[in-house]
Amino acid sequence: MVAFKSLIVLAFAAVTLGAPNVRRQLEEGADCTYVVTPSANADGINLSSEVNFMIGDEVAIETNGPIFNGGLKASVNEDGSVTVSGKIAADNLKADELKALLTSWPGNVTLHGLPQNGNLLWTVNSVTCQ
């Protein structure tokens, strides 16, 4: 019984020590502001879920690894575009590498929204990072 308990403690320690520190990842992440435009009217959708999904999903796909999203915030502009801001990190990219990736999106990447929000496509107009 003692050996079994020791095995469980060792397994937990291995998982805990091997897991990336989310706080560290976000501190080292890219703090950016995006301006995006939906392919159709986005009134009535859960904008917070939409922007967190579409940006997080694209980062995960392009970096081929886990991402850390501190919770992106969105606001609708008068022209119907949406300004999104916040910090995101990728497990396998340094902050400068991620910033370079994100700022390459305008004119090159179309973001895909959630099915429950009508599968909107989002044009990336601009990305600036601090």
pLDDT (tens digit per residue) in 66-124: 999 989 999 999 999 999 999 999 998 999 999 999 999 999 999 999 999 999 999 99
The reply to whether 11 falls in a domain is: no
The H or E element spanning position 55 is: helix 47-63
51-73 per-position pLDDT tens digit: 999 999 999 999 999 999 989 99
| Domain carrying residue 118 | 22-129
Whether 65 is in a domain gets the answer yes
Please give the tally of structural domains in the chain.
Answer: 1
Which pLDDT does position 5 carry in this prediction?
44
Whether 88 maps to a domain, the answer reads yes
What tokens appear for 50 in the block? 């939409």
Is residue 30 in a domain?
Answer: yes
Q: Beta strand 73-76 with 30-38: parallel, antiparallel or unpaired?
A: unpaired
CA 106 to chain centroid, in Å, comes to 16
16 in a structural domain: no
CA angle, 70 then 47 then 69, to 5°? 15
Q: Domain for residue 13, yes or no?
A: no
| Within a domain: 61 | yes
How high is the pLDDT of residue 127? 98
Task: Tell whether 15 is covered by a domain.
Answer: no
